[in-house]
Every structure is written in C-alpha cells, then in structure tokens.
Amino acid sequence: MVDWLWSFSGSKETLGVALRTMSICTPMRKRLVGVLLIALFGMLLLACYPDNPQSTFDATGPVAQSQLDLFWMIFWAALVVFIVVEGVLVYTIIRYRRKSEDYDPPQTHGNTVLEISWTILPAIILAIVAVPTVTTIFDNANSPSLAGEPAIEVEAVGYQWWWEFKYDDPNNPGNEIVTANEMHIPVDTVVNVTLTSPNVLHSFWIPKIAGKVDVVPNNINKLWIKAEETGSFLGQCAEFCGVAHANMRFRVIVESSAEFDAWLASQDEPALEPVDPLAIEGKTIFEGNQAQCWTCHTVSGSAKAQGTVGPNLTHVGSRTHIASGIRVNDQKNLREWIADPDRVKPGNLMAATAKVYTEPTSKLTDAQVSALVRYLQGLK
C-alpha cells in the first residue's frame, strides 16, 4: 500500500509529510464537526427564542396560548417516555454487555407479560394525552361568537403570492372594504376569519396569535383569533404554493378599537386625487395604455382602474410594507419594486405578465417610474 502511494507521491519524504498531515487533520476535522454541531444546535435554540418574529413561544392570544399549553404538555410527556426508554436501553447495554468469556445465551421467542405491558402502557399514555388534545381542537374550532361574544368578520383570500383581506362595510351593508397584505384587527376582540383560495393550496399562519389552517381551493375553512396585545405581528403562508411561496407574507396590525374604527373608515373612502404635477403624471401613466396598471389593480374612485388580478391599491401609500410584506413601504423600495419586481420578489406574476416587463419597447423610463412612485405614495 505504501509503495502504491509512493508511486503517486513522487518520494518517500513527500509521502511522509502527507501521512503526518492526514494524522493531524483527522482530530482537526473532528473538532470542526463538533464546532459546527454546536453552532447548529445554537441556531435551533435561537429559532425558538420568544422574541423571534415567528416564534410560537410568545403567545399573544387565547388560541396561540392554548396551542402552546398543549405543546408543553405533550413535550414533557414525550420527554419522560424518552428518558425511561433510553435509560432502560443504556442500562441493558452496560449491564448485559458481552464479555470475552461469555457464551451465546439461550434465545427467548416471546414474553407475554412484557408484550402486553409495552402495548397497554403506551395506549394509556396516548389516551391521557388525547383528552386535552381533543379539547383544544374543539375549543379552537368553535368561535366564542357562537356563544354571543361580539366579533368582526374578515375574509382572507390566498393568491399567488399575496393575501387579500375583505371587511364588511359598516356604512354600506352588502359592500366590502378590500385591502391587501395587512390585516387590521382591534385588540381584545374576537375575529372570525374565513379562508378561501381561487388557485392552489395555501396555509394561513400567524405564529404569535394562532396556528396554521389550510386555505383550500373551492373550499371554505374558518378560524377565529383574538389578540391581547397591540402591535404588528408577522404572518406567513405555511403551505408550499409555488416559486414565491417563501415571500408570501402578511402582517396583522393589532390596534385599539378607536384606531381600528378610524382605519376602517379611512379604507371606506375613495383614493385621494393627486394635486402634485408629478403625481398627476403618475396617475396618467397608471391609467395609460403603455403601463396598463389599471387592468390588474383597483383604485377606488377611478373609473378605469377596476382590475382584480393584483392587490387593491386604493390606499397603498398608507401600508407599512409592499411586495406582500417583504419590503418596507418607502420611496427607495417602491421604486425598485416598480422598476424590476422580479429582482425584488422572484416569480411574481406582475413581472411575468405585464408588458412593461415582457416587451422591451414598452419598458418604463426612470422618469415614468418616478412619477408612478409619487402617485402611489399619495394613495393614503
């Protein structure tokens, strides 16, 4: 073997250096693997830290809290079972390890008492765990509004790859107030959410407020939520739905009842008419035949912009984020989004279908993009 290695190494001195290097590298590799495993374990722990935006260990509502309580109960039960089983296994390995003088023991082909025991005991444990599990499932499935507690109704529609939210118009029964990617709700109030999808399977998930519920095409699912703290909470599609699935986010804005009522009233108003010359130019481009933004988007108050393919933009300037919640809604990000949406959010349908992105002769100039940004930022 050494001669074979020597034939490729060139000299015995070179071979000796190589072998010594290998002997040194082996413990170094072991230490490196150890460091990487520790780092991986640390990252897993950080992912569970309550301050993480998508941590489920910082429940802020009764639904999320009941799910967290159930998790801890099952976790500790599983931990006890793990310790007992692994303890017996380790004891058996040490106590009955084979010694050099041992002979082959007689083979046991069955033990009725043990087999009945390890069948009945897990069944009892599962039956005990099943009681709070079923109770939690039914509690989370039945909204408190069924018992008379006041609630508001919201419809959440999952598109590829953004969310639309619809509210009943308090000033015009039968009419709907429509927004996108930001769901506003009042604190300490039951919210019944109806989930629908016109395309593929999605999953509605607000980690700190409620667990996941699937959004199924041609089917209506429901859940109820109740937030106990004001603030902004990150939501996410939790079911793979296509190329931009990871960027199908949304935010839940929890505010006081007075703030929510004021927001709802503002959303019921038509879009503000631009007065700034650059914004007026932006509206002309928005409704023009080159950009044709109006064919996919709605702007309330506009006779032309009544599209339903993309998000409703009536009050887009008042939203905290754009591009389904992945970019802060400021001038720089909005400009980058309009100029090259596929770079900001790969796979989005606007970049794939709008002719200003698919036809080089229709591409918007920098001046046109600036005008559109000014117009959209004024829609508040």
User: Is 51's pLDDT higher than 90?
Assistant: no
Mean pLDDT score, 324-348: 93
- Mean pLDDT over 26-35 rounds to 74
Prediction pTM value: 0.80
Mean pLDDT of 65-70: 94
What is the number of other CB atoms lying within 10 angstroms of the CB of residue 280? 16
Q: What is the pLDDT of residues 160-186, one digit of tens each?
A: 999 999 999 887 877 899 999 999 999
- CB-count exposure of residue 73 (10 Å: 0-12, 13-18, 19+): middle
Q: Give the tokens for residue 191.
A: 């919210």
Arithmetic mean of pLDDT, 125-134: 91
Q: Kindly state the percentage of the chain with pLDDT values over 70.
A: 91
pLDDT digits (tens, 9 = 90+) for 10-30: 555 554 555 455 555 566 777
Nearest-angstrom CA–CA distance, 347 and 336: 16
The pLDDT score that the predictor gives to residue 24 is 52
**pLDDT per residue as tens digits for the range 111-125:** 888 889 889 988 998
Q: How far is residue 280 from each of residues 108, 115, 290, 373, measured CA to CA in Å?
A: 89, 81, 16, 11
Q: What confidence category does residue 157 fall into, taking pLDDT thresholds of 50, 70 and 90?
A: very high
Indicate the helix (H) or strand (E) that contains 277. Answer: helix 277-286
